[in-house]
Structure 1
Amino acid sequence: MKLFSKDETFFDHFRQLAVYMGSASTLLRSLLENPSDAARIAVEIKKVETDGDSIVHLINQRIDTSFVTPLDREDIHVLATRLDNVIDLINGAARRVVMFRVTAPRSGGVEMADILVRASAEILASVGDVTKRAKMLDHGRIIKQLEEEGDVLYARSVGALFEHEEPAIEVLKWKEIFDALEHAIDECEDVSNVLESIALKNS
C-alpha cells in the first residue's frame, strides 16, 4: 500500500480544459458562419474562457497542495497554461469580429475555425493517452498536419484580401482576424508538443 497516493484529479482538469477548447472552437466556427450574431456568440465564448481560467486556478492551487503529483509539477503547470492559451486566443479572435463590426462571413475564416475544432478533438483524445507514448506520437502527427493545413489556409486567405480592390479597412479587419486564428492553431501544436514531451518522460 502506498503511503501517499498520487493526485489523479489533474487529468480530469486537463480533460475539462480540452472540452472547453472544443466548445470555444465550435462556437467560434458558428460565429464566423454568422457574424451578424457575433455579439451573442462572443458572450458564450467569453463564458467558456472564464470557466477555463477557473480550472487553471484550481490546477495551480492543487500543484501547491498535493504531496505527490502524477506528473512533474512544471509539466502540469505548462500544460494547463498552454491549454488555457488556446481558449484565450479563440476568445480574442471572437472579440475582434465583434470589435470590427464584421457583418458578413469571409472565405477562410470558417475553414480555419474548423481546423481548431478538429485540433481540439485530437487534443482531448491526447490528454486521455498522455502516458501512452505510441498513441501520443500518432496524435502529434495529426495535429502537425492540421497546423500545416492551417498555414496553407492562412496564406490563401490573406492573399485573397489583396486579389481585388478591397476597401483598406476590410483588409485590415480580416488580416487581424486571420492572424488571431492562425495564432490559435499554432498554439494547438504547442499543446501537442508539451503532451508528447510528457508522454516521453512518463512512458
Structure 2
Amino acid sequence: MGFSLFPRSVKFYDLFAEQHRKLVKAAIILDELFTTFDDVEDRCRRITIIESEGNTISRRIAKELSLTFITPIDREDIHEINLTQEDILNLIKAIASRVGLFGFDRIRYPARRIISNLRAMIEEIGAVLAHMRQNKQAEQQFLKIEGLKHECETLIMVGIGELYDGGEDCAGYAAILEIVKWKHLFDRIEAAVERTESLSDVLEGVVLKNA
C-alpha cells in the first residue's frame, strides 16, 4: 500500500457503537442470568463468545488509530474509550464465569439489583455516544449514570454486610467458603461498576473539550 497525502477517513464513532452493542448484549444476558438464575452454562458461553467478538473490535480500533493521522477527537481519548469499553466487557465475562464456576445455589438481591443498575449505566453510555456523534450535550445521561453508581455503592455495602451478618449460619467450613465465593463475585461486580463510571467520566471530558 503506497503513501498518501490525504488523511484516512475512519468513522471511530461507528466503531465505538459496534463495540458498545457487544457490551449491551453481554450486559443484557448477565442481567437475565442474575434475574432468573437459569440456563447458567448457556448464558456464560454466550457472554464468552460476545467478549471474544468485542476484543476483535477493540483490536481493530487500536489498529485504525495507529494508521490514522487526523481523528475526530483526541487520540488519547479514542484509546481510553476503546480500552475502557473492552475492560467492562472483560469484567462482565469475569462475573459470569464466577457464577458458572462457583456453584451458587441462589443470587442475592443486592447483587441482582447492582447488575440491573450496571446494565442501565451501560445503556446510558450508548445514549451519550449517540449525543457525542451529533455534537450534543448529554448532561442528563451523566447525572443518571452517577446516580446509579451511588446506588450500586450502597448495595455493595449492604451485600457484603449480609455476608458477615448470618449469625450461626456463618459457622463452619461451608459457610466460610460461601462468604469467600460471594466476596470474590462482589469484587468483580464492583470493578465493573467503577469501570463503567470511569468510561462516563472519559466521555464527559470529551464532551466538555469539544463543546
- The TM-score with structure 2 as length reference comes to 0.88
Provide runs of 4+ in structure 1 moved above 4 Å.
3-6, 131-134
Check whether the contact 2:7–2:68 (CA below 8 A) recurs between aligned residues. Answer: no
Alignment root-mean-square deviation, CA:
1.9
Contact 1:53 1:84 in 2 (8 A): yes
Structure 1 residues 123 and 53: CA distance shift in structure 2, 3 A: same
SS in 2 for 1:108: helix
Match of 1:38 in 2: 40
2:12 paired residue number: 10
- The one of 179, 193, 196 aligned to 1:188: 196
Q: Percent identity?
A: 28
Q: Which of 123, 137, 153 is the aligned partner of 2:139?
A: 137
Q: Secondary structure at the match of 1:146?
A: helix
> For 2:45 and 2:87, how far apart are their aligned partners in 1?
18
Q: How big is each residue's C-alpha offset from its partner over 1:38-67, in whole Å with a ceiling of 9 and x where there is no partner? A: 221111111111111111111011112223
Query: Please, which of 101, 104, 110 is the counterpart of residue 103 of structure 2?
Result: 101
2:179 to 171, 175, 193: 171
Answer yes or no: is the 8 Å Cα contact 2:58–2:83 preserved in 1. Answer: yes
1:121 to 2:129 alignment: no
Letter of the 2:51 counterpart: E
Question: Could you say which structure has the larger radius of gyration?
Answer: 2
Give 1:200's aligned residue: 208
2:146 partner amino acid: K
Shift of 1:15: 1.1
Q: Is the 8 A contact 1:35 1:97 kept in 2?
A: no
Does structure 1 retain, via aligned residues, the 8 Å contact 2:23–2:122?
Answer: yes
- Tell me how far 1:128 sits from its aligned partner: 1.1
Kindly provide the amino acid, as one letter, of the partner of residue 48 in structure 2. K
- Contact 1:36 1:103 (8 Å CA) reproduced: no
Which deviates more, 92-101 or 131-140?
131-140
The 8 Å contact of residues 36 and 102 in structure 1, kept in 2 or not, is answered as no
Deviation at 1:20, TM superposition (A): 1.5
* Equivalent AA in structure 2 for residue 80 of structure 1: N
Runs of 5+ consecutive residues of structure 1 not aligned to the other structure: none
Distance in 1 separating the partners of 2:52 and 2:8: 28
Deviation at 1:131, TM superposition (A): 5.9
Unaligned residue ranges in structure 2 (runs of 5+): none
CA distance in 2 between counterparts of 1:36 and 1:117 reads 18
How far is 1:25 from its partner?
Answer: 1.1
